[in-house]
Structure 1
Amino acid sequence: MKNIAFYLMTLPAVFLFAAFHTFPAVQGIYYSFTNWDGLSFTYDFVGFKNYLNLFKDGNILNSYLFTFKFAIISTILVNILSLSIAVGLNAKIKGKNFFRGIYFLPNVLGVLIVGFIFNYIFSNVVPQLGDKLHIGFLSTNILGSEQLAWVGIVIVAVWQACAFNVILYLSGLQTVPSELYEASSLDGANKWQEFWKITFPMIAPFFTINMVLSMKSFLMVFDQVIALTGGGPGRATESISLLIYKGGFQGGEFAYQSANSVVYFIVIVLISVFQIKVLQKREMNM
């Protein structure tokens, strides 16, 4: 009877998950084989036509290039910064709990709110500061430049993502036995040697988790782009998620962008699986 009760308790959650996740996903795959515009009551099946057209669309190619560039650079930066901050916070310093709270604060703030704040900073505060200091490259709004707008998005995304990654790395550092550091100090190891020979190998599983989650999150970037550039200037910072949203819900390309989202989902899964395989293999070789 207890087992039956447990199963019955899970039914509401299963139903809600199926209704708001599984069913829409399956429905999106179904529509990707049609020419439905998202509004009309009639549509025709077109087979794999939408999928074939994806590889001929220059806008989709540009969005994939921007998203991959952004995701790779942001993933590298956020893990370097997060690990450095976590190691510093894990050291014996005064008020480290206060600093832990400060570093976690960006994770509490809404992404859109942070984006709009930084939009104002990049558009007004930084150019005014550049003019007063007579620094040329700071005097212009980088969000208005096709070549530099992505840099602003990287800065905001990395700044906010560091908060969560620092917490994960701190959790990993807590699992490293202090006896290992004591033994290494007796052997004359310096801090750099301790990090590469003890700290990093011991927290390798946490590094794997952070790398996979960071890459997945940055590949799905949407809010930061909306708040900072809206995909502009032109289409210079149009991410895949933003393109799917604009084309599907505003451009009458619901079926076409459904096909794009299916391909996008497959790409993210393949990248995540590849990362896990490579990084776990690296863990075993440490």
Structure 2
Amino acid sequence: MPRAFYLMVLPAFVLFFVFHTIPVLQGIYYSFTDSPGYGPSDLVGFQNYIALFTDGRVLHAYWFTLLIAAVATVLVNVVALAIALGLNSRIKFKTTLRGIYFIPNVLAILVVGYIFAYLFNNSLPAFATKLGIDSLSTSLLTDSSTAWIGIVILAVWQAAAFNIIIYIAGLQTVPADLYEAADLDGASTWRQFRSITFPMIAGFFTINMVLSLKSFLQIFDHIMALTNGGPGTDTESVSVLIYKGGFQGGEYGYQSANSVVFFLIIVALSIMQLRVLQRREVSV
């Protein structure tokens, strides 16, 4: 390859190595220490990793994270695909609507999260009280059994925008001739979706599912804005726990081990998801 190629790639490689690779290697090193995040530390071997599997707070954080990720991934793809199908149909102002639907993706999630927190804590209970709906007369975020619902609502609302764009791009690759032939054969709308649309955009569905799950597994800003991990620690995700324990609780080494385990779990789930969905693409 020409020398100019290496000269162009070198700055990006150096930046990536300095700001990504080195911190990752440092994190792995600290995971084998008892470092509080400052001062001297000692090597403790695999003690941090062993302790993770008996720590109730850590196990609850993983369970809660998987719950949020699973529910939000399904909902965001259902919502995004439904909206994309509507925007891809013959409706007026669909170009403008595409721009409007993408707005949530460019807004700062913390700012939006505080707005949603106000709605959940004040506006929604006030409306529910006037309408006589007792189950919604108190904030969703103050009850550990319902706080996760508010987090899912915010996460789906914010993430749907990106998924919509991906699905619209996929729908535009489906030849119109297929729909015309299906209409001549008398195929219903649902039949056309099941036999033509969905199989043709299976690759885009795979992309959205994998990216959505990875993103929701790392959910952080939504929780910090809505509940800050509360009530108590009931809505702590793994990312929130790593942040609180590592940077505020003096558990830098311990939470470094947690972050390594979390990274491996995300990679494993992504690979499994890709293999299953890609196998389905082939069968379709």
TM superposition score category, shorter chain reference: over 0.9
Cα offset, 1:3, TM superposition: 1.4
Of 134, 139, 143, which residue of structure 2 is paired with 1:136?
134
Give 2:183's aligned residue.
185
Give 1:218's aligned residue.
216
Give 1:50's aligned residue.
48
Cα offset, 1:160, TM superposition: 0.7
1:39-89 CA-partner distances (Å, limit 9, x unpaired): 11x211111110000001000000001000000000000001100110111
Give 2:171's aligned residue.
173
Of 74, 78, 86, which residue of structure 1 is paired with 2:84?
86
Give 1:273's aligned residue.
271
Matches within 5 A, 1:58-73: 58-73=56-71
Structure 2 residue matching 1:237: 3-state secondary structure:
coil
Identical counterparts, % of pairs: 60
Give 2:247's aligned residue.
249
Code of the residue aligned with 2:192 in structure 1: it is E
Q: Structure 2: how far apart are the matches of 1:237 and 1:3?
A: 53
Give 1:102's aligned residue.
100
Q: Structure 2: how far apart are the matches of 1:16 and 1:102?
A: 35
Residue-pair matches, total: 284
1:35 aligns with 2:27: no
TM-score, with structure 2 as normaliser: 0.99
Of 124, 127, 130, which residue of structure 1 is paired with 2:125?
127
Q: Structure 1: how far apart are the matches of 2:15 and 2:82?
A: 41
Code of the residue aligned with 1:263 in structure 2: it is V
1:12 aligns with 2:11: yes
1:23 aligns with 2:22: yes
1:100-154 CA-partner distances (Å, limit 9, x unpaired): 1111111111110110100011111111111221211121001000100000000
The unaligned stretches of length 5 or more in structure 2 are none
Code of the residue aligned with 2:215 in structure 1: it is S
Q: Structure 2: how far apart are the matches of 1:220 and 1:108?
A: 18
Stretch moving more, 121-130 or 275-284: 121-130
1:164-202 CA-partner distances (Å, limit 9, x unpaired): 000000000000000000111111101000000000000
- Aligned Cα RMSD in Å? 0.8
Stretch moving more, 255-264 or 104-113: 104-113
Matches within 5 A, 1:194-209: 194-209=192-207
Cα offset, 1:13, TM superposition: 1.1
Structure 1 residue matching 2:2: 3-state secondary structure:
helix
TM-score, with structure 1 as normaliser: 0.98
Q: Structure 2: how far apart are the matches of 1:14 and 1:284?
A: 36
Cα offset, 1:11, TM superposition: 1.3
1:190-234 CA-partner distances (Å, limit 9, x unpaired): 100000000000000000000000000000000000000000001
Q: Structure 2: how far apart are the matches of 1:217 and 1:47?
A: 31
Q: Structure 2: how far apart are the matches of 1:238 and 1:51?
A: 19
Q: Structure 2: how far apart are the matches of 1:158 and 1:216?
A: 14
Q: Structure 2: how far apart are the matches of 1:223 and 1:66?
A: 15
The ranges of structure 1 where at least 4 consecutive aligned residues each deviate by more than 2 angstroms after the TM superposition are none
Code of the residue aligned with 1:245 in structure 2: it is Y
